[in-house]
Structure 1
Amino acid sequence: MLDKLKVRCQLCNERNINRGIFDEHVKTSCSEYQIDCPGKNIGCQWFGSRNEHDEHTKTCLFEKLRPVVDTLYKIIENQSLDIEKLKKQIEQQAAELGQQKTQVDQQNAQFEQQTTEIGQLNTQVDQQKAQLERQAAELGQHKTEIELQKAQIEQLEAQLQQQQIQISDIQSENQTQKNETASIRKQITTFDEEMNKLRSAIHQLSK
């Protein structure tokens, strides 16, 4: 019932307005209701009554520029969408780069570990090489000593061979002397036998 009561608009003084539609009257048809220019969103600062609105709109530079501004806004909106896409792509690429960096860091850590292990192996190889060189030097010394001993043995063998030759010569001389001695003894025996024969003959003659 209250919505059907008649009221008067205090802005435009229009009467006999149903109370139930009063808000709609103010928002849509009140000639004195203060509204903004449609170009407010693109920079127009005009603010006035609805009955002045149409006249202002006809002369508003912002409204005349609206097609261009709308086009620019559309371009900006599209660019904003493109920027958002690029941001997402950049974020995705940044995440991928982060993963790649993590992988690179892990690979660097592995490389450093392998480098350390290689350094340790090189140290061991150097130590083994030094040990082999010492052993080679010792073997060289042993070889030199063996060669000296071999030369001494060869010299001793030559001396021994010479001594054997000398012994053989001495043995040959001894054999010759033995033969001569045996011959002399044989001659002496023969001489003794002849002397005995002579003695016997002399003894016989002396009888």
Structure 2
Amino acid sequence: MTTIILNTNYEYMDKASIDKDLFCDYCNNPLIDPISTPCNHTFCRDCIESKLKQSCGTCAKAKCKNKSITMNDLIPVTERIVLNMLDRLLVKCTVCGTMNIQRGSFEKHAENFCSKLTVNCPAADLKCPWSGPNDQLQQHISICAIEQMRLMVADIIKNNHQLKEQVQKMSEQCYKDNSSYTKELQETNQCLNARVEQLNEALYHEKIRLKDLQTEFQQLKASILQDRTQINQLQTELQYEKEDLTRIDERCNKQEIQINQLADKINTKGVLSTYENPQLEHCLLKSQPRTVIDLSKQQLFDRDIETVIKQALIEKECTRLDLGYNAITAKGASIIADSLKYNTTLEELDFHNNHISDLGVHSLAEVLSSNTSILRALGLGSNGITDNGAEHLAEMLKTNQTITWLALAGNQISDRGVKLLANTLAYQNTSLLVLSLHVNKSISDASVDTIIDMLQRNKSLKKLWIQDCNISDDGKRRLREAAKVKQGFLLYM
């Protein structure tokens, strides 16, 4: 068993709110192992025993005239309700910072959950000098030569003890019988000594074998370190390739916008016939004013956006516009972004499954950063958005106070993008209620600490979707534990 010290490793969460009847009359702290005196005063056991030793039988309560108390007069408090109230007092671990631990469960926390508590090696009884944080104990045990020899040493000690007992019994019998039997006992003792020597020799060989195993272990560690270095190099190269792809994608988007602009100029000059989309116009014509207009899966292109703005936003004054599953690019997003400057009715805008990319996000973020739009919900799922787009949105959220719902599922956002968004939510945004990041496969355990810090600091966020990412089971466990502390918060993983 590891050795730990409990009574100095916690502090009470709200000491001022604790019932004063639960305090020790001497140390003025919540009772520990409570004891009552004949004069109906209650103390911690250590407090009253220490006081009695110092004052020769005087009660530790100030102004109490009872001077005839002895150790035999002390009565342990056994009322279950009092002991349960003391056990349920909430404390904070001063070693690892964990809060809201019931005092009666603190020993279990210290032994099983506190990763920073200083403990000794289980082989301390065999003179192992190691001590350190609880979360390093298992690593030390795996390489502790003394602990690994415990069973062997115990067996030798046991055998030696048994041999000594046999020698003692045989010596006594020899003393009672005759000298000839003494000679027989001496021969037996010699055999036993030979056996001890054999055991010592076996122990010596086992030590050599253990040393060889330790050498092999060090070689394996070196090999693992080399493999990790290669993995880091590959990850760095992959990141560079992702950045190159992002730059290429941005160039393609810019060129596409230029192509669309040239096409518009050509149309303006009358070279091509005026573009019309009867299906879109029919859909808009039958839509009711100031309602939801669903234009998803209508095969819309950037050239249809002007019609959408004119009839859906201006004439129909719709409150929610769904443009999902179309072929809208950064140009179309830029046109809609300009219209949001004068929007007085649209509250929800959904672009899911289009091609607006980081460039389109930049156009939207610039307009929304001015905080003049009434837009509350923005859907950007599956639009080829990378960390650059996440950076634009993070900057926008620093000033925008109307967006409460932001969907970024199914993009190429990685740990860097998560960190940018989480830092904004932790320190600068107080309006966002719902954030969707699921199915971003580049989000890994590297984001876990950042998300936990955001959950601890942000007061507004109520829902976070982050399922189907590259987060390990241990990372998910840590996120769930952090979410439990945040009242009224829902985490979907």
Q: With structure 2 as the length reference, what TM-score do the two structures score? A: 0.19
**Relative CO higher for 1 or 2, CA cutoff 8 Å, sep ≥ 6?**
1
Which structure is larger by alpha-carbon Rg, 1 or 2?
Answer: 1
Query: Going by fraction, where is helix more abundant, 1 or 2?
Result: 1
Q: With structure 1 as the length reference, what TM-score do the two structures score? A: 0.41
